[in-house]
Structure formats: C-alpha cells, structure tokens
Amino acid sequence: MSDLIRKSASEQAELLRTGQVSSVELTQAHLDRTAAVDGDVHSYLHVGPEAALAAAADIDRRRAAGEQLHQLAGLPIAVKDNLTTTDAPTTSGSKILEGWVPPYDATVVAKLRAAGMPILGKTNLDEFAMGSSTEFSAYGPSKNPWDLGRIPGGSGGGSSSVVASFQAPLAIGSDTGGSIRYPAFVTGTVGAKPTYGAVSRYGLIALASSLDQVGPVSRNVLDSALLQDVIAGHDPHDSTSLPESLGSMAEAAKKLDVKGMRIGVIKQLNGEGFAAGVSARFNESLQLLQQAGAEIVEVDCPSFEYAIAAYYLILPAEASSNLAKFDSVRFGLRVTPEGTPTIERVMAATREAGFGPEVKRRIILGTYALSSGYYDAYYGSAQKVRTLIQRDFDAAFAKADVLVSPTAPSVAFKFGEKLDDPLAMYLNDIATIPANLAGIPGIAVPNGLAEENMPSGIQFLAPAREDARLYQVGATLEKLHEDVWGKRMIDFAPELQEAR
C-alpha cells in the first residue's frame, strides 16, 4: 500500500472508479500511514477511523450496487480543525474549545460528505488560525515532513504536513493572510485560496470575517482543482457567498498552455528581502514560462508596502469581535475563580486560562484599534490602505492576466527561531496578505529546492472570480518543472517519515 498512498488524488480516485481498489482499502492504508508516522509529524488533533471506515464501506456498497457516484467518491480527506463537524471535536487549536463537538456540519464538510469522501480526521493549526508556524497550537506544533526540526507553516501546518507526509491525499485549509499558501510553500505542496465568497464560510470558526477563505491542499495542481470543484458554490447560509458558479477548475487545470498569457511580476514582492535560493527558483520558473510562450512584464503595486501594517490592524480588530463569543457562558471552557463567581470574574478567568499568548496579543491589539478615539486613526486608516491595495491590483491586472511572486521570503525556519519576535513571524506573510485584503484568488505551487534543500514555491494571483487562470498557469508550470526534474516535486521529500 506504500505505493498506493503516494499516487496523486486523481490517480487514487481513478483506481476507486475502476474497482482496482476499494474505499475501505484506501482509507485503511492512509490510517495505517498515520499510525506509523503521526507520532512524529503530529498533523492531526483528532483521527476518526471508525467514522472514516464506515463512510468508506458505504461508498463501496453503493458503487457495487451500480450507483452513479461523484468522481472523488471514496477518496479520503483531512479537514482543518476550525471547520465544524458533528462527529468529531472542533477545537480550532484552542483549550477554550477542548472536546467541543458541534451540533452542525460546516457547509464545506457537508459537501465532502455528499461527495462520498471519508473524513480521516481534523488537522492541527495555530490557535484560532493565528500564526505562521503551528507553534501557537494549544496542543503542540505539527512538524515539517522534510525536516522534523522545522515548521510546516501556519496557521494550517497540520493540513500541509498531513498531505506532504502521505497521510491523506487531500486536505481542507483556511486562508486569512496566507494560511494555506505559506504552509504549501514550506512543505512542497500545492495550496489555493479561492476568490472571497467562492467557497462557503458557514461553519468555519471565524478569525477575520472579511479575510477568511476556505480552500484546498494537495500534492499537485489538478488535485486542488478537483477539490475546489467539490467545495465551491453558493450557500444561502453565508451572506458573503457568491451567487454564481466560477466554472470547473479541473478543466482549467487540464489546459497546459500559457502561450500569449501576460504574467506580471510584482515589483514590491521580488528581489530585496527574499532569500537567494527562493529568488533563484523564482527566476527559473519565470524563464520556463517565458520559454513556453508567456509574456513576462513588471507591475508596480506601491501600496503593498503598507499591506502588513493594514492587515495587522484589520485582522485583530475583527478577531477581537469574533472571539467575544467565547465567554464561558454558552459553550466551551468554563473556569470558576476563587471567591464570589460573578459573570465578569468567570469570563475573565476562562479567557485567561483558555486563550494562548498570540490570541491574547491580537485581541488586545484589535480592541485597542477599535476603541473610542483610536478607531479612525487605526482601523479606519487601515481600511483606506486596503482600498489602495485593491486599486493597485486593478491597475496591475490591466497590464497582466495573472500576477506572480515568490510565495514567501525564505524556506521553513527551525522551531523557536521566531517565536519571541512577533514582527519577524508576521513578515512571513508579506507576499500572501495582499490577496486577502483584496479578496482575489491565489495559488502556491512548488518550484524546487532552495536553501538547505528545503522546498521553495511560486505564487500566482488572478482577478476576483478568475480562479481558473491560476489552475491553468499553475498546472502548466508544474508540468514544465516535471519535464526538467523527471519527477514530481513531492518525490524529492526524504523518507524520514517512515515507521520507526
């Protein structure tokens, strides 16, 4: 079964469709892999073998009966633990929700179940998706399968590491400022942030509601496209959900052609501040695209200089509001202090015990930014910068069909290196944040090895609702690289995850 789990999701789905393997066999193979390696990698916060195998057995029965099934039916998947599930705890990586089993499924989870995809478990994340390394998970960090001493990115380090270590063929992540794309970059996987509103946020535990977006994690571009096709679509439960379909991403990923495509290199996200190896891989990718017929142009986005400052006012402000619901009264943790247990004292004691340091830091920042006398100076000004960033994107897309940059400045860092320096941690997202502020789609695709033989990656951005362009150019570059390397990027990964 070792060779089976290393196949792409689309290849595994074809084996299921043709009856060469059963869903129970495939699901069990991934569960066996988890039993062998997740003690080291710690991708999961919860594994549900009974529920997964029951769902797999049901798909096998329906397929044997001749029922017409979804093309991914029977293919197992992992889900980030900030999406609600009725049959498994949803903690969002926080002690304040430890053991909480929600009364409803997130829309994305319901879509996975409807497609017949067994859910293997819930993946680890920085608490309430606040972080770039999973070091802020209340349950301990996930590890990078390429080097267990390094971070797998964040906040969705569990989703990236579970796919990179072959514990699942696909995973669901969420991206507020790069939490799908940055983990993909450091683990040699593919991660996509769809257009804001293209995938329902109903049942996603909110961090910053105007920035959050659910998306796919995979080992190649086509697999992410197939998964986005499953989870996308209008949802009346989500007031920000787009009313129209964006078409088939899988069909776009099969168009391996960039002839005549204008690709805009973002001046502010290239060169200075990016590691030499990351820049070298980036320039090599541009050369391959140009040789394939794309036109490479430079675009100027001057407001991007202020993106991080604006983001770290808007996000904490929205987070402080969204996290107010965790008050010890309605659900979750409740701590009773000594003395007279007034509601104020219980609430304070619960939030003190239940929230970790990064969550507290951002709640304080956000509450301050929204406070009387500071709202216009901080939050209001940040929203004005957001408008300028959106205008920069509009101007750039007038010159280019897609934009491109390295996904992040440097390869995966070692645990503890940036834990005591919040600003250094925040700067990991310098290239990914602008897309969330503008609501546009982005995809991170691996493009080789950089410093210390760790994965590097390239990011493509497209105008809102034009997600298909990303899958087309991303899949084309992936094929160009495979022609050069002679194998997939993920196959470079060392075998240090093998059973011990």
**Residue-range domains of the chain with CATH:** 2-300+394-492 (3.90.1300.10)
* CA distance linking residue 153 with residue 171, whole number of Å: 15
| pLDDT in the model for residue 421 | 86
| pLDDT in the model for residue 47 | 98
The catalytically annotated residue of 22, 23, 80, 405 is 80
The catalytically annotated residue of 92, 179, 241, 328 is 179
pLDDT at 238 over 90: yes
Quote the mean pLDDT of the chain: 95
More confident residue, 190 or 329: 190
> CA 108 from chain center: how many Å?
14
Cβ-contact 199, 439 below 8 angstroms: no
263 phi/psi in degrees, rounded to 5: -115, 120
Active site residue 405: no
Instruction: Give the Cβ contact number of residue 406 at 10 Å.
Output: 29
Q: Provide mean pLDDT across the span 66-70.
A: 97
Q: Provide mean pLDDT across the span 288-296.
A: 98
Active site residue 179: yes
Our CA angle for 345, 346, 348, nearest 5°, is 65
Beta carbons within 8 Å of 191's beta carbon, 6+ residues apart:
156, 160, 173, 175, 180, 181, 183, 184, 185, 215, 216, 217, 218, 224, 443, 444
pLDDT at 499 over 70: no
The catalytically annotated residue of 92, 155, 285, 303 is 155
| pLDDT in the model for residue 495 | 62
pLDDT at 493 over 90: no
Instruction: Give the Cβ contact number of residue 18 at 10 Å.
Output: 8
Q: Between the CA of residue 306 and those of 387, 427, 481, what are the distances in Å? A: 12, 12, 34
More confident residue, 249 or 344: 249
Active site residue 479: no
In the chain, pLDDT over 90 holds for what percent of residues? 88
Q: Provide mean pLDDT across the span 108-131.
A: 98
| pLDDT in the model for residue 500 | 29
* CA distance linking residue 243 with residue 420, whole number of Å: 43
| pLDDT in the model for residue 424 | 85
What is the identity of the amino acid at 317? A
Confidence category of residue 1, pLDDT binned at 50, 70, 90: low
Q: Note the pLDDT tens digit of each residue in 178-231.
A: 999 999 999 999 999 999 999 999 999 999 999 999 999 999 999 999 999 999
